[in-house]
Amino acid sequence: MNIKFRYNHLATIALSATLALGAITPVWADGNQIEISLAVGRVPITGSSYFELKQIHVLPNQSGNLATFTITIHNEGSSELQFIDYWARLNSKSGNQFTARLLPADKDKNRVAPGSTTDLTFYATVNPSTKLQDLVVQFIKWDFGQSNFERVLGEIAVPDDYTDITPPDGAAAISVGGVQVNASIKKFVSNKNEKYHVPNVYVTLENAGSQTVAIPAYLFSIRTPEGLLYPLEAKGLKELKINPKESKEIQLSGSIPVTVAADSWQLSVAETISDLKLNVSVANFGLPAVTSQEGGSIGKEYSFTSKSGVYTTQLGGLYRLPWEDQDILTADLTLSNKGEESLPIPKLSGYFLLDDAVKIDAKLIQTAKVIGLGAGASVNLQIAGKVPYTYEFSHVKLVLQENDAEAPASETDNGGATATDVLEFSTQSELQAIPFIGLGQSYSVNDVGRKAKYVIHSVSTYEDKTNIMYSAMVEVTNLEKRFTNVSKLFANFRSPDGTVFPASVAEVKNKISPSGKALLNVWASVPRGYSTSNMNLLLGEAVTEGKLSEGEKAVADSYVNPVAYWLPAEKTNVATTLKNVELFPYTITVDKIGTKIEDKVFTLKFNYELTKEKLTEINTEGHNLLLVFEDGGGMKRFEKKFDFKDFDVINGDSTADEDTKIRLGKRENFQITIPDPGLIYNTKFLEKYTLSIYDEFQGQRKLLASEKADWFITTD
């Protein structure tokens, strides 16, 4: 069946979608219409049945490139066709072979009834240099009469002029659960500040089917001509349902470094296959040339005059951040002194005006530890206010005010003191997306007195029977020349569909040496079974009563300077020996493991060495090293916990036999003894045992290493 869309002018268009989502290769028909052809090529099976290559894509991933292709089996014969007799292979035109596998959802599609069709989608990892036009799909039939047990029916090479990119004025037909949804770009605007391009893409989704459809949590990205991917946040996508013949609009926003050329960008749409932990392409759109939105104030400098002198202010960003059952509106301002003489920092306040009607009181926060502005100097300021998270608005005005000498510098409620409007920033563009920090990349805070670098070290999942504890380890490096405290942070984990899980931060109480590091454990409880794939970590600097939070008793009431970290894949492999087991920043090796039963007492004996990365501070509260002993025959099992906080404590002679805690350093013949009068009578039933090391946090566990050994024999 052909699907037609009407447009006002002629062009050449290519539409695509993948993963059993009905990707398509379009051509122009006569007149002002687009006719969509659903075939790249076909190979005959019998006289009346054939394979059809419906679509093919290549998407970059962490291990190279991921190719996906969908074939349609057309059975126009009078008897059933069984796909178990056939297969599809993926090769390159140069002769390389790639292992193609069926997606989990298609593995049971083996029979095609007479007069029907069936779609099957395959995926394969290809070389990083492999392009779409390099690929060849080969179709075979298993034939045990052949020497290699197979007979090639034919192959389809991707044409050199084939493209899976939908032009900016085109539309892509996407199959969602068998329902056709037409996707097109309605509008594309972009602004720019000192550090980032700020693209906003408006996508229209039209349900062309006859049933209501729930739109999946797609992953949207800007893709550059070099293949770089920059994630976009989707507003309006969460739990989105579209009725038949109904259209809905979603807004995509993001941030891209200004060093990236703003031309030939594409919009990439992908979907996560949780069973495979893979992101696969759904559709790709070409975007028009990037243009700045006229009249926007972000990134522009404005001056105002006070009694102290002339100041220059720039609105660097305007964000909407999750906060419990509210959202925080926060504006990032830069206050500069362009003159030749020093100036004091003026007493400023401000408020937000939404849609020229609703006033939102706000607080001003100064994050840098400075009291004045030298010639040519600048300081960052934040203004933050709260709105209900359900409240929608289309226009924001930020009014910046200067208070008289008696007015508080950080409060808009100035107790009757005079507040003079000095500047208005009217955001004629959309709210900015929170800047994303890529995998392995760092974010630096450059405020005077608080210079530091933040990077994600690792992620971990701890489990019990009902929930999982999802944790990220944030490494902070002190870039100051003095010992400093780590800034208090506020954190949330966010899933691709916008679900927010408030997170806790285990703060480091000790000051950090110059060039020293601190490890901040950030964790949140997530329902068991909930996918943590493609989660990101939203971090901001905690604020209490208009100032950066300081001290143990400070309770954050908002946060500023938000950034979102793209989280690395979790290391889930379990080591088969107990050597060099990482409990970062600690590493432990356990060897010379032996068992004995004597005087009705069971003894487990071993040597260990515990080391720690130097100049690294960490709050280990709630963490235990858990040893679990399990006999293969089920005759003996026990657990022994060792609190992390004891690792660094030297309690007299840490090598003394009576010391039952694990300490930093080496220790020989460390013993765990447990009375067990009946165990001696079951020695002939004792089988191999397993000794395992777990990282336990807040009562939930992650298995790190397990080693099997024989009873009464000391291991190497």
Q: Which of 410, 412, 528, 390 is nearest to 469 (CA)?
A: 528
Q: Which of 113-117, 278-282, 367-371, 657-661 has the lowest mean pLDDT?
A: 657-661
**pLDDT at residue 477 tops 90:** yes
Q: Which of 609, 592, 603 is nearest to 667 (CA)?
A: 609
pLDDT of residue 409: 41
Count of Cβ atoms closer than 10 Å to residue 371 Cβ: 9
Q: Which of 506, 528, 524 is nearest to 567 (CA)?
A: 524
C-alpha separations of 201 from 232, 289, 407, 443 in Å: 9, 12, 42, 26
Confidence bin at 30 (pLDDT 50/70/90): very low
Give the mean model confidence (pLDDT) for residues 306-321. 80
pLDDT of residue 657: 55
Give the mean model confidence (pLDDT) for residues 313-321. 85
Q: Which of 120, 138, 55, 115 is nearest to 83 (CA)?
A: 120
pLDDT in tens, 437-468: 888 888 988 887 889 999 999 899 988 777 88
Give the mean model confidence (pLDDT) for residues 125-146. 91
Domains defined along the chain, listed by start: 41-157 (2.60.40.1240), 165-286 (2.60.40.1240), 301-427 (2.60.40.1240), 437-566 (2.60.40.1240), 581-709 (2.60.40)
**pLDDT at residue 302 tops 60:** yes
pLDDT above 70 as % of the chain: 87
Q: How many residues does the chain have?
A: 716
Confidence bin at 392 (pLDDT 50/70/90): confident
Radius of gyration of the chain (CA): 31
Q: Which of 239, 298, 240, 230 is nearest to 261 (CA)?
A: 230
Confidence bin at 43 (pLDDT 50/70/90): very high
Count of Cβ atoms closer than 10 Å to residue 446 Cβ: 11
**Ramachandran region of residue 398, left (φ > 0), alpha (ψ -120 to 50) or beta?**
beta
Q: How far apart are CA 472 and CA 457, in angstroms?
A: 8
Residue 166 burial by CB count (10 A; 0-12/13-18/19+): exposed, middle or buried? buried
Structure tokens at 513: 């040496």
Give the mean model confidence (pLDDT) for residues 74-78. 90
pLDDT of residue 411: 40
Asked whether the bond before 585 is cis by omega within 30 degrees of 0, the reply is yes
